[in-house]
Structure 1
């Protein structure tokens, strides 16, 4: 199991120590660094900026939102970064949720699985560069039909002027529900789960096998499929102290990253048996009481989805993750802590 670093969402500005952590990761054999986007900073620019001083570490979007860019624009950014990094870019994609897609991008959220399938197919066509890119739609028709609202009828199928460095540039999908987890195994090169737990490993493996059964022979073999799981990490003098450090993170995702009726992060954690507690967390968060929301996060839930406690505690917990389908443990922590944490995780 390899080790990665997730630099996380930006708050008011760039995360302190992120540039130094990326450079350290590159120099010390960390597998990958990942960036995020919601409705502030984007996922591509930090990789280009921080990654410019690196030569070995893989650079992944974790995740780039489908609705933020057209499939062809996403492919352009991906092939550009892949050239600039010497073939180290990983395109992580995700559908996000209706609050962001409809509220921030002004796009309809309906049929996210079908849209994901169309989106990935177009990106792969751009990267293969075998012919001018066409797509039937309905979400992303190329060229735009002449009878579409506002169309001039002069659209032309085009092929990228730039030859991609890798026609098989890896595409990973963020997925939390059962159907899109299986979809990742069917059409992508990797899965980016969040709020996974070793307790759900058998279920995760079954869903991946379902997707592998429908996988095209033109893609990488299933044996090369990656599972890069984002896992919060907090070191403290005890497990209880470390749990308290992670509780606000869980409360944010359970209560603030989605609506009352559609929160995929909360749904993922609820599969561990904490639906009632998470409903309380969400209610407090929605009411504006973030302190009570964090306090309502069960300690047992945090211990299932995070690495928490003393160095000895974390070493024991990492050993449990090594027995799962996860191929890269992507830790979510203060980037400034990476030099101290990496030896601990490797030693375990």
Structure 2
């Protein structure tokens, strides 16, 4: 099991970058950079490549609409080159607000587009002539569109590796099934290791049954907020995650159209999830946060004495997690990574 972090797109990138070499020496194996509608992450990945030596650096995530599929392939090959073979391309659909509201691109056929993008990325990195005729992406531009002068091309440069890992941030059943079949890795959200199979188990099994052997096993990137020590205030750690969990379970979407609420329901917290949603949509955010069940919050964090955290790590490992995400809670992030490294390697 590898140790990983995600740097929040609203955080101080320069401060994080200054600390990253110390985190690498402490045992951190990977860092993912999300994008949303923030600073672009590709420039940041180039910067981090120059100041690190062994850790993997990836996007966590970039959307499949704002860059063309071939450009995403170029980006994968280019970032893999500057990192010396340490790049991970994390992809996701994002949503209409970002894709249409910010990038002015139609948010259509997200599942089909993601599958097409993965295929085009892999063709590009293999330095094949990029011709693709899928349900969402056609390359070159079809006759009758544009000038009609476009012809298939292949990447000028020779990539360092014939394949760059492509991870898919998938949540809905069809996308999770497709990720298990096609992607190198899967990035879930609100991952409760002991109950994850209740929500995604069937889709993962169906996709894995159709997986090409040459892809190897599916990497899984998941984790939570971490605080280690006999004196840790576990209630404070729970309280630290309440606003985000309440936002997603209660405020993302309308009643009956909130997949994060569906995830909580699938975990067995249906009644509480409904209460949280009703409170949140009525503008009672603090009440919604307070209504989150302790058992749900405990499934999303790793906090307490080292033995208790070790039990949580074991649960993530048993759930198939190969990249354990660490979100340090208070204290010294470098020291937290060192302690987690010892627990994971024990």
TM over 0.5: yes
CA shift digits 1:174-217 (9 cap, x unpaired): 11222222211211111111211122354545433321221234
Consecutive unaligned residues of structure 2, counting only runs of 5 or more, are: none
Query: 3-state SS of the aligned residue for 1:3?
Result: strand
Name the residue aligned to 2:226.
233
* SS in structure 2 at match of 1:79: helix
Which range moved further: 39-48 or 244-253?
39-48
Instruction: Provide the rounded CA distance (Å) in 2 between the counterparts of 1:257 and 1:186.
Output: 28
**1:80-122: CA deviation from partner (whole Å, max 9, x where unpaired):** 1110010000111111233333333333333322111111111
Report the equivalent of 1:102. 100
Distance 1:25 1:256, change over 3 A: farther
Give distance in 1, aligned partners of 2:34 and 2:285.
22
Find 1:161's aligned residue among 156, 178, 189: 156
Question: Counterpart of 1:69?
Answer: 67
Deviations 1:38-63 (A, max 9, x none): 12233323222233200100001111
CA 1:69 to 1:302, structure 2 compared with 1: closer, same or farther past 3 Å? same
C-alpha distance in 1 between matches for 2:223 and 2:125: 27
Per the alignment, residue 208 of structure 1 pairs with 204
Q: Answer yes or no: is 1:125 the counterpart of 2:120.
A: no
Cα deviations by residue, 1:140-198 (Å, 9 ceiling, x for unpaired): 211112323xx122222111112111121111111122222221121111111121112
Change (3 A) 1:233 1:28: closer
With over 3 angstroms needed to count, the CA separation of the structure-2 counterparts of 1:245 and 1:113, relative to structure 1, is same
Judging changes above 3 Å, is the alpha-carbon distance between structure 1 residues 258 and 7 closer, same or farther for their aligned structure 2 residues? Answer: farther
Give the TM-score normalised by the residue count of structure 1: 0.87
Runs of 5+ consecutive residues of structure 1 not aligned to the other structure: none
Aligned partners of 1:113, 1:55: CA distance in 2, in Å?
35
- Structure 2 residue aligned with 1:298, among 275, 278, 293? 293
Name the Cα RMSD after superposition. 2.6
Query: Using the alignment, how far apart are the partners of 1:262 and 1:18 within structure 2?
Result: 36
Deviation at 1:221, TM superposition (A): 2.4
The two structures have a TM-score, normalised by structure 2, of 0.88
SS of 1:118's partner is helix
Aligned twin of 1:250 = 245
Contact persistence 1:234–1:243 (CA under 8 A): no
- 1:18 to 1:336, Cα distance in 2 relative to 1, 3 A: farther
Instruction: Rate the CA distance shift 1:256–1:100 in 2: closer, same or farther, 3 A.
Output: farther
Structure 2 distance, partners of 1:283, 1:65, is 30
Aligned mates of 1:53, 1:336 — CA distance in 2: 24
Corresponding residue of 2:273: 278
Comparing 108-117 with 118-127, greater Cα deviation is found at: 108-117
2:221, 2:299 → 1: CA distance? 17
Aligned length: 340
Map of 2:50 onto structure 1: 52
Q: 2:138 is paired with a residue of what secondary structure?
A: coil
What is the deviation of 1:287? 5.0
**2:261 paired with 1:266:** yes
